[in-house]
């Protein structure tokens, strides 16, 4: 890992999956409903591809780093398939404690159930991993009416 990522920053402040991110007029960020699991119900035995909507929110504190560094959010499926990454530049400036954040709305297609990981990489170096579990529950089906029973004789 490059020296600046271990002994001078940037330092990870948070990395979460959540329901919503609000940015207030004064620049303060509110992270609403941190989540780590989606439960999907469906009519079939196996999960059919299902779109999920959520936000990914990441913040680093500058430390001694200045300038632009690439942030990559790399999803990995439960079967360890590498999915397309989301990349964005982060510009580190100001005082050492100054935060540099990204809040990204995500439309994600869950194609299998199980544990997904989102690798958070800064300048190509793994900073942390965010878990997201997708649970699939087939809906309960009730048997239809059977054959009509004969009526009792009187």
Q: How many CA atoms lie within 13 A of 98 on its CB side?
A: 13
Distance, in Å, from the CA atom of 85 to the CA atom of 110, rounded to the nearest integer, reads 15
Looking at residue 149, its pLDDT comes to: 62
The secondary structure element, H or E, covering residue 4 is helix 3-7
Domain definitions of the chain by residue range: 3-137
Tell me: pLDDT of 8 over 90: no
**What proportion of the chain, given as a percentage, has pLDDT over 70?**
86
Q: Average pLDDT in the 95-111 region? A: 89
The chain-wide mean pLDDT, for the chain, equals: 89
For residue 2, pLDDT over 60 is answered with no
In whole angstroms, what separates CA 106 from the centre of its chain?
8
CATH number of 3-137: 2.60.40.10
- C-alpha to C-alpha distance for 136 and 130, rounded to whole angstroms: 20
Q: How does pLDDT run across 37-62, given as a tens digit for each residue?
A: 999 999 999 999 999 999 999 999 98
**pTM for this entry:** 0.83
């Amino acid at each position: 890992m490059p020296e600046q990522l271990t002994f001078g920053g940037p330092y990870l402040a948070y990395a979460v999956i959540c329901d919503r991110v609000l940015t207030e007029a004064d620049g303060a960020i509110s992270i609403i409903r941190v989540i780590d699991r989606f439960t999907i119900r469906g009519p079939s035995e196996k999960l059919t591809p299902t779109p999920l909507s959520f936000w990914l929110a990441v913040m680093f504190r500058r430390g001694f780093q200045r300038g632009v560094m690439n942030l990559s959010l790399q999803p990995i499926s439960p079967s360890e398939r590498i999915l397309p990454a989301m990349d964005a530049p982060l510009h580190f400036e100001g005082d050492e404690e100054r935060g540099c954040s990204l809040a990204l709305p995500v439309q994600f297609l869950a194609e299998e159930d199980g544990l997904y990981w989102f690798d958070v990489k800064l300048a190509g170096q793994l900073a942390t991993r965010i878990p997201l579990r997708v649970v699939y529950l087939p809906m309960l089906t009730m048997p239809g009416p059977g054959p009509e029973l004969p009526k009792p004789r009187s």
